[in-house]
Amino acid sequence: MSGCNSSHGIRCRGLGVSVAVGVLAAAAASAFGADQQAPPATQTSTGPQAPATQSPGPAPRGAPGAASRPFRPRTLFNSGDPTLALTPPLLGGRAAPPGSAPPNPDPRDFEGVWWLQGYEYLLGPAPGIPPPLKPKYMKLLEERIRAKNRGTPEADTETQCLSHGMPRLMESPYPIEIVQTPERITILHEVAHEVRRIWLNRPHPKHPRITFLGDSVGHWEGDTLVVDTIALDDRPFIDDEGSSHSTKLHLVERYTKIDGGAKLQLIMTVEDPVTLEHPYSYQRIYMWRPDVRPQEYICEENNRNAPVNGITVAK
């Protein structure tokens, strides 16, 4: 598969919603009709996970997916300002079709393929709510959203075939494959074949090298895998809309298998004393997908969105 730069709505894995600037409404409308039986695209950030009703049929690979709730154009701060329109969320992964291998009930065995349910372009404490950015960075986020809505989005790292960074990588609407070895949890992402290595039962190095995906260490608290990540390069954004973070970004991810292993719950805590007013958390769900194999995804093959003066110009 060639590169899929979301900024331009190149169809990626048939996720469907072409978010071409200026046709947001049309895109959302077409996405809206995609799957009325699908579970809600977003989870609330607090409270217990409601049991989702899944589509009875097999999830067609390449079918369009989108939010199933009635479409309400979201804008930053619910301002109604169209220049602050947020990109509508996608459905993302669904439950495995009938006949798929059953989930592994071992609560500490995360191996296999998982697929994020829902896909938010703004990663704040709740859907449609921005991270608690300090005023300077909130203004920057507004500028980035306005630039996107003008059709001249800022070329982010992902657009340049660099890393998605964190926590954004965990929000990718592509399957992920977890491989578990005694000292490590390895996450192989379909998107841009990114690889995360989470080292178990060891501290961060004293002077970690700053990298796109940072230094991740993990340990078990009961049946919850707790992952601590620091030393993150500040070029990627927290989310697709463009919330900034610094190299002081600190992430704590808590992963727990729920529903007998049919789902992997993530509670992500985001802390950044430079760009955020205070830490915040959100919850996401990954679906057990033994029927899916990650595909080849080569961003560099379709690297048409190289920025000119920091702005993406190619179509």
Partner 1 sequence: MSGGSVVRAGLARLGSLRVGILVTALGAGIGAAHAAPPDFSGVWFVVHPPHALTTVEGTTPPLTPDARVIYEQHLAAAARGDRSFDGMTRCLPPGLPRLMLVNEPFEILQHPKVIYFIFQLNRLPRRAYVDEQLPTDPDPLWLGYSVAHWDGDALVIDSTGFNDLTLLDDAGLPHSESLRLTERYELSGDGKHMHALFTIDDPKSYTRPWTVKAEYVKRPGYEIPEEFCMDKLRNKRRAGNP
Position among 10, 20, 34, 161 found at the interface with partner 1 (CB under 8 A): 161
Nearer to partner 1, 26 or 179 (CB): 179
The answer to whether residue 247 forms part of the interface with partner 1 (CB under 8 A) is: no
Position among 101, 211, 220, 246 found at the interface with partner 1 (CB under 8 A): 211
For the window 190-209, what string marks contact with partner 1 as x by the rule CB under 8 A? ---xxx-x-----------x
Distance, CA of 131 to CA of 124 (rounded, Å): 4
The answer to whether residue 101 forms part of the interface with partner 1 (CB under 8 A) is: no
Minimal distance, residue 96 CB to partner 1, in Å: 17
The residues near 284 (Cβ < 8 Å, ≥ 6 apart) are: 43, 116, 117, 118, 170, 171, 265, 266, 268
Strand partners, 187: 178, 196
The answer to whether residue 314 forms part of the interface with partner 1 (CB under 8 A) is: no
Q: Which stretch binds partner 1 (CB under 8 A): 6-14, 27-35, 126-134, 155-163?
A: 155-163
The answer to whether residue 160 forms part of the interface with partner 1 (CB under 8 A) is: yes
Position among 60, 79, 301, 314 found at the interface with partner 1 (CB under 8 A): 301
Residues near partner 1 (CB under 8 A), total: 24
The answer to whether residue 221 forms part of the interface with partner 1 (CB under 8 A) is: no
Nearer to partner 1, 221 or 300 (CB): 300
Position among 34, 162, 252, 258 found at the interface with partner 1 (CB under 8 A): 162
The answer to whether residue 300 forms part of the interface with partner 1 (CB under 8 A) is: yes
The answer to whether residue 313 forms part of the interface with partner 1 (CB under 8 A) is: no
The answer to whether residue 163 forms part of the interface with partner 1 (CB under 8 A) is: yes
Nearer to partner 1, 95 or 169 (CB): 169
Nearer to partner 1, 106 or 143 (CB): 106
Position among 70, 207, 222, 296 found at the interface with partner 1 (CB under 8 A): 296
The size of the chain, in residues, is 315
Residues engaged in binding partner 1 (CB under 8 A): 111, 160-163, 179, 181, 186, 188, 193-195, 197, 209, 211-213, 293-294, 296, 298, 300-301, 303
